[in-house]
Structure 1
Amino acid sequence: MHELLEERVKMHPDREVHVFVSDNERLNFLDFHRKVEELASGLLDIGLSKDDYIAIIGYNHMELPLIAGAARAIGLTTVFLQVGYPLHTIGDILRKTSCKALFLTRSPENLYTDICKLIPGLSSSTSGSIISNNFPDLRYIVATGINHKSGTTKLEDLYLAGNEDTVREAAKRVTIDDICCVLMTSGSTGPPKLVKNSHFRMLNPAYGLFQLCNESQVTKLVFCGSMAFVDGTVQTQVCPLLIGSTCIYPNADAFDCKKFLQTIKDERATHFMLMFHWLIQLVYDPALKLYDLSSLKAGFITGSPIPPSVAILLSKKLNVDIMITYGSTEIFDVSCVYVQEGHKSCTTVGKPIGNNKIKIVNESGHPVKFGEEGEVLVKTDIGFEGYFDARKTNEAVTSDGWFRMGDIGKLDQDGYLTITGRTKDVIIRSCFNIYPFPLETALLSHPAVKSIQIVGIPDYRYGEDVCACVILNPGCTLAVEDIEKHCVDKFIMNHLPKHCLQFDEFPKGFTGKIDRKKLREIAIGRITVPTSPY
């Protein structure tokens, strides 16, 4: 990947590669490459070498892609940690990956305090000589900004000019099959899993997607999200190398609709990437019409299945192409589709990209007919390089090499894939399998509903019952009877919610996705759940 950076420098040295709006920091390809090699030299100087693991945690600032780029240049493996995860989870990951250095970006400002809880002796340690029984491999905590305190090495001190030859010698030993990063799954269905990725695997699936999107048009992409996850890594670190795009960050941490829109206007951005839960905010924000967004050409939507009415509405309001991508941290993007009103693209996640293969199987593992629901399995040329936990890898892959996506879906005769639910989200009511997403999509078209989640509630009479958790539009009401009237011609009565709860907002996990497990717990606490008399 470092070789690709060098090629980009030759092709357009003055083009900006990273723009951090809130920090007022910009780097073009030439200066980015120079700083990457200076930092890589410093990493070698403190004793790090090929195949060592380092970890990064923090919000989006310029130091994050610089650290990752320097690590790739000399063959280090970068573990991306997500801000907000429990400290014990971060500690487990540092131990499991045997990280030798942990890098803290300039924010959030409590990073140093949190790391001191993991390493109680940090504040009294000498930089570079950390001794911790819990983390025997960890030697350096490297920090910048307010997080550079006692026991840490100052990041800026690692930039060493004049040692390009040393870096180039180290770079020669890096191969395309070396593991360059470890990404975390979202953790929405349990503790996050760690996914290993080689240089080869990072580059090839992404290149297939961006070829499909007409790579010559991707020039300025506004990114909102965390670089710790697959979409963030692909959009911010792989995309610039493959197609020479500029990645623009409106702010360091949480999504801010007005900053997002202002950034598109000021930077004349051509593309954007949003998670689905931010899309909802954007669609209904009255400020949307106040900004000149005429430079936009397309937007990428990821994270969750998207109700077609929302995607079409956004496409009309922005007057741009909306591309929905479907994939996972383990497999990357499997399929994609441009939303077109009146076309089946409105209700699907598209066709497989490139040579990717998708099949739908029943509980016995046998393929089902077109139009029938079943478990979604995927096979790609690039393949899945595995979790750190070999047992989990074996559970995720079939004996003949198909990856289990964890989704329920169906294929039509033209090859379009429709996702109807998650295998872990299925509600079983009186032997009926009920998938939340089709219900959520139908109810989102009700004029009273702004956002909706369907969860299962325990009920001794049926096993589970169906509960609609809704955020309403201002001044609206919604009852179970209203739901029945709206859906009576779309679903059998056994599938319809018997409970309806109003929320001001839904609980979210560390990635910003709705935490369905927590939402279910809240719903159970608000409903008088029937108990068995026996």
Structure 2
Amino acid sequence: MENTPHKLSYLSGTSNTPLLGITIGDQFDQTVAQYPNNDALIVYHQNIRWTYQQLQQEVDQCARAFMTIGLQKGDRIGIWAPNRYEWLVTQIATAKIGAILVNINPSYRVHELKYALNQSGCKMLITADQFKQSNYTQMLYELAPELNTCPAGQLKSKELPNLTTIIRLHSDDSPGMYPWQYFIDTFAEDTSAEALAVQQTGLAFDEPINIQYTSGTTGYPKGATLSHHNILNNGYFVARTMNFTDQDRLIIPVPLYHCFGMVMGNLGCITHGATMIYPSEGFEPDKVLQAAEQDKATAIYGVPTMFIAELEHPDFDKHNYGSLRTGIMAGSPCPIEVMKQVQSKMHMSEVQIAYGMTETSPVSTQTRVGTPLQKQVSTVGQIHPHLEVKVIDPETGKVVPVNTAGELCTRGYSVMLGYWNDEEKTRQAIDNARWMHTGDLATIDEDGYINIVGRIKDMIIRGGENVYPREIEEFLYTHPDISDVQVIGVPDKKYGEEIMAWVKLKEGKALTLEDIKEFCQGKIAHFKVPRYVKFTDEFPMTVTGKIRKVEMRKVSVQELGLESEKMETA
């Protein structure tokens, strides 16, 4: 693939490899036919080792069970669980019947869960029992007490009006919910393989298949709606750029609810007949290191904080990493030293950096094998095949000259269909010429390498999680003693950025940092809870009355002594 240098900041990704014009279900069946005995899925914590043929049996049973209870093309099915085999089975089974999978962040609590289920109109939810500090079952009974008295599959809930069926990833009975295996065993046999094949044949690759919630600046998440074509091709070209074959074995410690896990990981492997390895439910560095040696992995995915935790683990030197070759670091800027150590100590000489956003399926740019080290550690690589990017002046909309910062925009097969049931927000993000406006500030150099230099929006990236200040501000406004609040990101060596709130209290009221943390506990996801709080009587303002968050960050960094936390990034 070539990049012709342009004087203007515009790139078009050419390729001799055509896009896949096929649905996810059909692509999966083709891969199974080609590589039936290849290892498809290894899940350490569930003791699963399945070939592609075995995985297909599980997927088809699940899809037939969905059809038996009346799920149809276009129906929304939510999944609220960490990394487990049932996640992958559900992902492919929903794609085979044309149902839309709604990814629900495992960190979500009651308030966020209710919003996602109702905004997407989920008919069914597949839920884990519990994970880390979250007891999912308990939260569901809190939201829908009607579960205590209704038969499974017949929920009529005041708070969750669309939801009828909950499947729990546990063997024990729970009132109003089906255990996973019971559901499959009971309903799969009532729909024939022929009926599933007919259903699958009736699908088109441009139809929506997935909704992923991305936090919104208005305080409510937006449901990026993605088609088979969007995510199947993106997974395919991410893995192809890494020179994947059916012999590759990829460790996926990143969450499946995110594009990094389910698209770049699962679909990247499925399009190549490669092996997916889930070392643990959530990220555990020692489990990644064990799996790398035990299963002779060739690649590892992660955000920089994960690679740092692996490199710093006390057992790091006890394992052999000779089989590793490549992998992807994405989600937030990568410190240069970390990149060098991953290449040398972890044997990942071909490790790559990728950049994108949920709304673009996700990847738009990626470094290549053979990219000069300096470009590897200072850019997010070159444009992906079949895509276009440009950098514009946010004020005028005109394309800027090379090496000039402006807003990065992406166009091509990867741009989402839109935000679910939100035409206004969709119009704000995707213009009439189908360019997705990323809100990121970037430059493009003479060689076509892209560098992300900042963010137009005030988004905070904490350990790979996108956090929007407005959402936390809206929540903290509900505290009876808080008069005004502004949330910013401050530098942090471990997570890249940490959450800080500037709080203005109501007359005569007093609060502490601990009070605010306690108020957030269990109400918003743990990674959104402020680590620092500054109590203030006023905020830095512009002449026109706009809050100067840049000034707030500067003051906070100084007051907290965080100058040394800023890292040199790749």
TM-score after normalising by structure 1: 0.79
How far apart are the structure 2 equivalents of 1:530 and 1:381?
A: 43
1:31 paired to 2:41: no
1:349 paired to 2:361: no
Q: 1:48 aligns with which of 71, 96, 106?
A: 71
Structure 1 residues 114-123 or 158-167, which shifts more? Answer: 158-167
Q: 1:337 aligns with which of 367, 381, 396?
A: 367
1:369 paired to 2:398: no
How far apart are the structure 1 equivalents of 2:277 and 2:296?
A: 11
Measured against aligned partners, the alpha-carbon deviations of 1:244-289 in whole angstroms (never above 9, x if no partner) come to: 1111011112x11111101111111000110122123233334322
How do 1:55-454 and structure 2 match up within 5 A?
A: 55-108=78-131, 110-145=135-170, 148-159=173-184, 160-161=188-189, 163-185=192-214, 190-216=219-245, 219-253=248-282, 255-320=283-348, 321-331=350-360, 332-338=362-368, 342-364=373-395, 365-388=397-420, 389-425=422-458
How far apart are the structure 2 equivalents of 1:513 and 1:470?
A: 16
- The code of the aligned residue for 2:390 comes to K
Aligned residue pairs: how many? 459
Answer whether contact 1:186 1:192 (CA < 8 A) is retained: yes
Provide closer, same or farther for how the CA distance between residues 218 and 358 of structure 1 changes in structure 2, counting only shifts above 3 A. farther
Measured against aligned partners, the alpha-carbon deviations of 1:401-449 in whole angstroms (never above 9, x if no partner) come to: 22111211111111111111111249xxxxxxxxx99xx9xxxxxxxxx
Answer whether contact 1:82 1:510 (CA < 8 A) is retained: no
Where does structure 2 lack aligned partners over 5 or more consecutive residues?
1-23, 463-468, 470-485, 495-519, 542-570
Provide closer, same or farther for how the CA distance between residues 281 and 514 of structure 1 changes in structure 2, counting only shifts above 3 A. farther
Provide closer, same or farther for how the CA distance between residues 190 and 317 of structure 1 changes in structure 2, counting only shifts above 3 A. farther
Partner residue in 1 for 2:550: none
- The code of the aligned residue for 2:377 comes to C
Q: CA deviation at 1:116?
A: 0.8
Measured against aligned partners, the alpha-carbon deviations of 1:454-504 in whole angstroms (never above 9, x if no partner) come to: x9xxxxxxxx9x9964559xxxxxxxxxxxxxxxxxxxxxxxxxxxxxxxx
How far apart are the structure 2 equivalents of 1:86 and 1:311?
A: 34
Matched-pair identity in % = 24
Provide closer, same or farther for how the CA distance between residues 530 and 27 of structure 1 changes in structure 2, counting only shifts above 3 A. closer
Structure 1 residues 396-405 or 271-280, which shifts more? Answer: 396-405
Q: CA deviation at 1:125?
A: 1.1
How far apart are the structure 2 equivalents of 1:270 and 1:141?
A: 37
Answer whether contact 2:130 2:137 (CA < 8 A) is retained: no
Provide closer, same or farther for how the CA distance between residues 302 and 469 of structure 1 changes in structure 2, counting only shifts above 3 A. closer
Partner residue in 2 for 1:5: 28
- The code of the aligned residue for 1:43 comes to F
Measured against aligned partners, the alpha-carbon deviations of 1:110-150 in whole angstroms (never above 9, x if no partner) come to: 21111111111111111121111232222111113167401
Measured against aligned partners, the alpha-carbon deviations of 1:85-113 in whole angstroms (never above 9, x if no partner) come to: 13122111211222111111354372111
Q: CA deviation at 1:353?
A: 0.9
What SS does structure 1 have at the residue aligned with 2:176? coil
Partner residue in 2 for 1:449: none
Structure 1 residues 108-117 or 263-272, which shifts more? Answer: 108-117
Where does structure 1 lack aligned partners over 5 or more consecutive residues?
427-435, 441-454, 456-463, 473-506
Provide closer, same or farther for how the CA distance between residues 323 and 509 of structure 1 changes in structure 2, counting only shifts above 3 A. farther
Structure 1 residues 378-387 or 28-37, which shifts more? Answer: 378-387
Provide closer, same or farther for how the CA distance between residues 511 and 235 of structure 1 changes in structure 2, counting only shifts above 3 A. farther
Measured against aligned partners, the alpha-carbon deviations of 1:3-23 in whole angstroms (never above 9, x if no partner) come to: 222222222212221111012
How far apart are the structure 1 equivalents of 2:276 and 2:99?
A: 23
What SS does structure 1 have at the residue aligned with 2:389? strand
Provide closer, same or farther for how the CA distance between residues 471 and 176 of structure 1 changes in structure 2, counting only shifts above 3 A. closer
Structure 1 residues 332-341 or 413-422, which shifts more? Answer: 332-341
How far apart are the structure 1 equivalents of 2:171 and 2:366?
A: 41
How far apart are the structure 2 equivalents of 1:511 and 1:134?
A: 18
What SS does structure 2 have at the residue aligned with 1:209? helix
What SS does structure 2 have at the residue aligned with 1:32? helix
Answer whether contact 1:104 1:147 (CA < 8 A) is retained: no
How far apart are the structure 2 equivalents of 1:311 and 1:51?
A: 42
Measured against aligned partners, the alpha-carbon deviations of 1:34-56 in whole angstroms (never above 9, x if no partner) come to: 12111222111112122211111
How far apart are the structure 2 equivalents of 1:386 and 1:148?
A: 39
What SS does structure 1 have at the residue aligned with 2:322? coil
How far apart are the structure 1 equivalents of 2:160 and 2:171?
A: 24
What SS does structure 2 have at the residue aligned with 1:95? helix
Q: CA deviation at 1:152?
A: 0.7
Answer whether contact 2:40 2:273 (CA < 8 A) is retained: yes
How far apart are the structure 1 equivalents of 2:248 and 2:340?
A: 24
Answer whether contact 1:193 1:387 (CA < 8 A) is retained: yes
Partner residue in 1 for 2:512: none
- The code of the aligned residue for 1:84 comes to S
Provide closer, same or farther for how the CA distance between residues 71 and 471 of structure 1 changes in structure 2, counting only shifts above 3 A. closer
CA RMSD after TM alignment: 3.2
Structure 1 residues 336-345 or 398-407, which shifts more? Answer: 336-345
Q: CA deviation at 1:523?
A: 5.3
1:518 paired to 2:530: yes
What SS does structure 1 have at the residue aligned with 2:197? helix
Partner residue in 1 for 2:547: none
What SS does structure 2 have at the residue aligned with 1:64? helix
